[in-house]
Structure 1
């Protein structure tokens, strides 16, 4: 057994590519080793700004010898067929065996593939990996043909056993593999030899390189929070930024600086966004939530403990924040005078070539929000006003500079303009929910505008036949549709989507868009344990566009199906539907005229009539009250009488009058169940 250590040392790798590259290196190498016949006990990959490293433990020393039996032509086949077979196997006629086959006696070639040493296989696999590495972007340099994300400087590749280590013989585009690497670019640039992964990791740390990105991130967060705590402050948590910064440094040195007093009155989100996007700084806030300081992470220790670095960062940050302050003050002047100029400017901004400008879209959303408002408990005038102003900040200088602040800045500007608080709130919240874990607005005006925004998008793109296809969804229509679903369900809204879609865009294919929504609904409810076929069973009647009603019925049905009565009821209903369908096809008539209890001949038959007479008003009353659990419970109570009926009664009796009556009874069973769900659509 041996341990394999690989390091691919290069110029700086973009932080966003590092972790994926480490995972790709591990997969490509380990898959290649296994495919070549080697096995291993474990593997772990690491990344820093200048290196990808892979440690494979417990690698077998060589691949096993294998023997392959290859079937050839029949022994009486033409000589040319035999000659071709011999060429393909590299054997002679005397080395072939003969065996009986279904088609006669055939030649068999037994080819032995001798095992190969691990070093030979590693060299092949690693060269293939390097030459075909799936970087999102790569480059060539110098006179070589190799492509890498940044110039590749060296390859470390060693196999370590109890008796020592050996360098794997490998040359890629003039780069000869060895057992040396380098430490920190500035603090320890001298090369050094390594003999194993443990030796490699320890010597790197002594050379001011922390190999593990998780360890670097932990060190950054620990030092940042400790420094903030000592000053009575808190670091604003940002896991994405932390992962990115950990990919920018090999030896993190955390420094905390102060924000100039001229900028402390900027909205905290502006400060945080500016520092994160431009400088990769963490924001530090006081107990009131005001951001007063920043944390930056240097890549080296300095004699002045980072004072020069902080001074340079402060200078750059002040210039950035001066721009932000200028944008903020200009935008406030416009907002206080009225946001109409911003709306007028959106007339010149195209939303989509076939759907008009952003201003035209705002007009549509405002009209739709007014129509939706009563259903969500919002004042129509307020919903329309909120929809008209919700996207005005798209014309502001601040959002032009920081697009990720759209909506949030709209709230600030609406407040500055003296708008109703609900209008300001809707400006920020109407984009939500943006994803499955995003918060869902609950304020009525926000809900009205959010629904109008998303439904206008969906209906518009359906009208111009720009629907998602396969994995392609360039306009994020699946996300918009999931947003509609979550807004309706989380707020328990009774809302018929058909007239709303028609109001949004009369040219939209409503049935097709509803089918798309139902598919998204199935995915959304999967985590709740509601199966696709349960949703399908509830897609009956005229209220399939009322998602809250649809889900309520699905949940009730799902609960009943978890019981023995429910599963047996489904089977009984399916049996009734099958017998009825066969009889109607044979007789050419529809049995739906009502069954007469007076024609019942058996106790089981009379018991089913009585049970249905009891269940029918209960089900109807429960459905009227939209009490679907009670409706399903009343339906499930029929399970026993239905089972007894099928055990004791022959539906297709010789007496034609009795037969027709029993078929009409089966029709009543299926129609009664169909008021809640089409149980024939349930799988199994």
Structure 2
């Protein structure tokens, strides 16, 4: 079957756009072909700095013919209806239509429309120009006097179609004065002359001969293999960097890896600063000395050509730039160490954290207070937690972090170590930002944990109070990440923390009150710059007199905000546990109980509940629970009242209901004791003892007894089943 080859040849496409552009071209073309009935066997996109290409294999030579029956109006219908039918069906008269009979609707006209399929090149000539004109570049512009918008000037379009063994035809179309052909060019410097190609294998072979590696993955493999070989030959190890490898593969069509060096004096700079400097400025890889574990004074660059001098001039040019940049980095590093971290702290008073939440200095003070409060709960020394919280953000004002923001935290650790601060304090400077993503490690040192929790909780409380919550896919302040960070720190360090209490106290302490008196009292309670409560009283009160009212409003709003934020944590916990294979409905069932804000205990309870429901006892008890609750709901709705226990022992007439009542009483006490001891496995074992009595009750007892007193007592007994399970979770929220 024939194959299609498309190549769009242009000036250099930015590396960051290449992979997305290749995917977009493949999707747009193949979707358009399938939409027109042209199914294919396979497709692959290619991209280099100067070309975007697509090969589609196994296309038919033409579309299939189509035959469609178009139903028309009834025989004898008004002329306007008949005329509309003839026009839509493309018929000259009713003689070209047939008449069909329907037993219910009578006779009606039918037109048989036969539409011959078009040749595939004709279809391609229709769809490709439209795709090129509307191509979804992140950024594009018009070049020259034409109307085409493209990321860089588009020079030529190659488009061929044909079967293997045949001479492929050039698909005829034109875009903005550029006519499709079978001509392309090779490497800009080493093989700039045009040449013709036929199909994919011919295109790739001729490009390879013209010093162009068309396959992006092959370029990456060449760069990585050559870099490893050069490093090994020098007795060094390549510091691999997937992101940099992706980028440099998009900068070259014919990759040539070369090694350069810089002065050893620059090795006094931290390795991360050297790597960031060389990576950011010259897109070069760094090498490590395996004997010391430190970086070596070498670098690897990827050239786009085979130079006549073996690359000496290219290496020398890159070396000059790298030495200049490392000189800057060394100056920043030395300057930062002259001025200690604490000397930078006053500058935070004039730096705004958020217009509604005040300055960075105010935020650091909030983190300090919370870190000191959390320290005993996580096993940290309060004095060390306080010291770490005060200077953990100081490196944001250093020269190195100003140049390389991605090194924030890490540089704080280096500077703290250099100033002789405690190791726990230095580590907290770096680790309090963690975890920054699902794959990032969680801090485990107690001081780091205290400051990390304080930092993330302060962020969540502040933005929650000013109503800057995540909406849909938008989360500009990374609050979902902060909440997940708190969850992972708590769970992975097995920290017992009453989260609602912590949140409520943060909201309460962050509120301020403004009382104005002038004929009446106007009370404004604010968090930052946001007014949470405005209360007006007709009776003038002094600030002292208004204090009880202030406290009441603050407590109410703090509790309300804490409830809302805790719900957000519950949603994040569901996501986290679902990724670990847990059921989110079980999280809902546990969180529905009052006072469930200890995340570690919530997870332990969820895990125990999940194991219980996987057993035969668990599944059977859940079925019996649902039967009991369904009966209870129906009867409560019919009677217009709730049936809540306790039951009357005198009205327990049947042995099965007596046994159930005794079992419920015993199980409730056992469950309560087990939960109090935080032995959730034992609580589930106790709960499983209800299975037999519940089954026996429904076998032997008629709930809706004619005697109203017996009926009411039995309905209350059903409610006792619900109450017994509530010691573990809200079974109403368990799905399946």
| Residue of structure 2 aligned with 1:554, choices 590, 606, 610 | 606
For the residues of structure 2 that align with 1:626 and 1:570, how far apart are their CA atoms?
Answer: 22
Pairs aligned (count): 681
Residue 590 of structure 1 deviates from its aligned partner by 4.6
1:568 deviates by 1.7
Q: Distance in 2 between matches of 1:142 and 1:584?
A: 78
- Residue 636 of structure 1: aligned partner: 688
Instruction: Point out the more displaced range, 503-512 or 108-117.
Output: 503-512
1:196, distance to aligned residue in structure 2 (A): 1.4
Of 281-290 and 100-109, the range deviating more from structure 2: 100-109
Match of 1:40 in 2: 40
Shift of the 590–37 alpha-carbon distance from structure 1 to 2, 3 Å rule, reads closer
Aligned-partner Cα distance in 1 for 2:111–2:460 = 63
RMSD of aligned Cα (Å): 1.7
- Partner deviation per Cα, 1:564-618 (whole Å, 9 max, x = no partner): 2212211211222233334444556554443355644334334334433443333
Q: Alignment partner of 2:470: what SS?
A: coil
**How far apart, in 1, do the equivalents of 2:288 and 2:350 lie?**
40
Match of 2:622 among 563, 570, 573: 570
Please say if 1:249 is aligned against 2:301: no
Moved more, 37-46 or 557-566: 557-566
> Which residue number corresponds to residue 61 of structure 2?
61
Number of the residue aligned with 1:230: 233
Structure 2 counterpart SS, 1:677:
coil
CA contact (8 A) 1:540 1:674 kept: no
Separation in 1 of the partners of 2:195 and 2:321?
Answer: 37
Q: Distance in 2 between matches of 1:363 and 1:131?
A: 55
How far apart are residue 474 of structure 1 and its match?
1.3
Q: Which residue in the other structure is 1:210 paired with?
A: 213
Q: Distance in 2 between matches of 1:237 and 1:630?
A: 50
Whole-angstrom distance in 1 between the partners of 2:688 and 2:108: 66
Post-superposition shift, 1:486? 1.1
Match of 1:365 in 2: 367
Residue 31 of structure 1 pairs with residue 83 of structure 2: no
Give the whole-Å Cα distance in 1 for the aligned partners of 2:107 and 2:639: 61
Distance change (3 Å), C-alpha of 1:117 and 1:589: closer
Shift of 1:661: 3.3
State the distance in 2 between where 1:246 and 1:205 align. 16
In structure 1, the partner of 2:330 is 325
* TM-score normalised by L of structure 2: 0.90
Indicate the residue corresponding to 2:18 in structure 1. Answer: 18
In structure 2, C-alpha distance between the alignment counterparts of 1:588 and 1:608, rounded to whole Å: 26
2:439 to 437, 444, 464: 437
Task: Give the equivalent residue in structure 2 for 1:470.
Answer: 472
- Give deviations 1:17-48, integer Å, cap 9, x for gaps: 11111111100000111111111111111111
Q: Contact (CA 8 Å) 2:385, 2:450: kept in 1 or not?
A: yes
2 CA distance for matches of 1:492 and 1:383? 19
Could you tell me which residue of structure 2 aligns to residue 98 of structure 1?
A: 99
Contact 2:667 2:724 in 1 (8 A): no
Any conservation in 1 of the 2:668–2:727 contact (CA below 8 Å)? no
Q: Is the contact between residue 570 and residue 680 of structure 1 (CA under 8 Å) also seen in structure 2?
A: no
Q: Distance in 1 between matches of 2:500 and 2:383?
A: 23
SS at match of 1:201: helix
- Report the Cα distance in structure 1 between the residues aligned to 2:75 and 2:333, rounded to whole angstroms: 90
- Alignment counterpart, residue 283 of structure 2, candidates 280, 283, 304: 280
TM-score, with normalisation over the residues of structure 1?
A: 0.96
- Give the Cα separation in 2 of the matches to 1:36 and 1:247: 33
Shift of 1:226: 1.1
- The separation in 2 between residues aligned to 1:414 and 1:455, in whole angstroms, is 24
User: How many angstroms apart in 2 are the aligned matches of 1:542 and 1:416?
Assistant: 49
2:677 matched to which residue of 1? 625
**Aligned mates of 1:91, 1:17 — CA distance in 2:** 50
Match of 2:548 in 1: none
Q: Residue in 2 aligned with 1:88?
A: 88
Confirm whether residue 652 of structure 1 aligns to residue 668 of structure 2: no
Deviations 1:452-491 (A, max 9, x none): 1111111111111111111111111111111111111111
Q: Call closer, same or farther: CA 1:348–1:100 in 2, change over 3 Å.
A: farther
CA distance in 2, matches of 1:472, 1:77: 57
Identify the residue that residue 534 of structure 2 maps to in structure 1.
none
- 2:60, 2:21 → 1: CA distance? 25
Give the C-alpha shift of residue 528 in structure 1. 2.0
Shift of 1:553: 1.3
More displaced stretch, 67-76 vs 197-206: 67-76
In 1: Cα distance, 2:106 partner to 2:275 partner: 80
Unaligned runs of 5+ in 1: none
**CA contact 2:593–2:730 (8 Å) conserved in 1:** no
Alignment equivalent of 2:166, drawn from 163, 175, 192: 163
**Structure 1: distance between partners of 2:635 and 2:258:** 83
1:108 aligned counterpart, secondary structure: strand
Query: Which deviates more from structure 2 when the two are superposed, residues 598-607 or residues 339-348?
Result: 598-607
Equivalent residues of 2:507, 2:562 under 8 A apart: no
Q: Displacement, 1:100?
A: 4.4
**Is the alpha carbon distance of 1:417 and 1:504 closer, same or farther for their aligned partners in structure 2, counting shifts above 3 Å?**
farther
Q: Does 1:72 align with 2:68?
A: no
- The Cα shift of 1:381 comes to 2.0
Q: Identify the residue that residue 301 of structure 1 maps to in structure 2.
A: 306
| 1:605-638 deviation digits (Å, cap 9, x = unpaired) | 3433443344333322210111112212221232
Moved more, 558-567 or 452-461: 558-567
Equivalent positions of 1:69-218 (< 5 A) are: 69-93=69-93, 94-100=95-101, 104-161=106-163, 162-218=165-221
- Paired with 2:162 and 2:633, the residues of 1 have a C-alpha distance of 74
- Are 1:432 and 1:438, in contact at CA under 8 Å, matched by a contact in 2? yes
| Kept in 2: contact 1:368–1:503 (CA 8 A) | no
Q: Which residues of 2 match residues 275-674 of structure 1 at below 5 A?
A: 275-287=278-290, 288-292=292-296, 293-335=298-340, 339-506=341-508, 507=527, 509-587=561-639, 590-596=642-648, 599-674=651-726
Shift of 1:103: 5.2
Alpha-carbon spacing, 1:373–1:123, altered in 2? closer, same or farther (3 Å) = same
Contact 1:543 1:550 in 2 (8 A): no
Query: Is the 1:456–1:505 Cα contact (8 Å) retained in structure 2?
Result: no
Work out the CA distance in 1 between the residues paired with 2:243 and 2:206.
29
Q: Give the match's secondary structure for 1:192.
A: strand
Q: What is the distance in 1 between the residues matched to 2:574 and 2:564?
A: 16
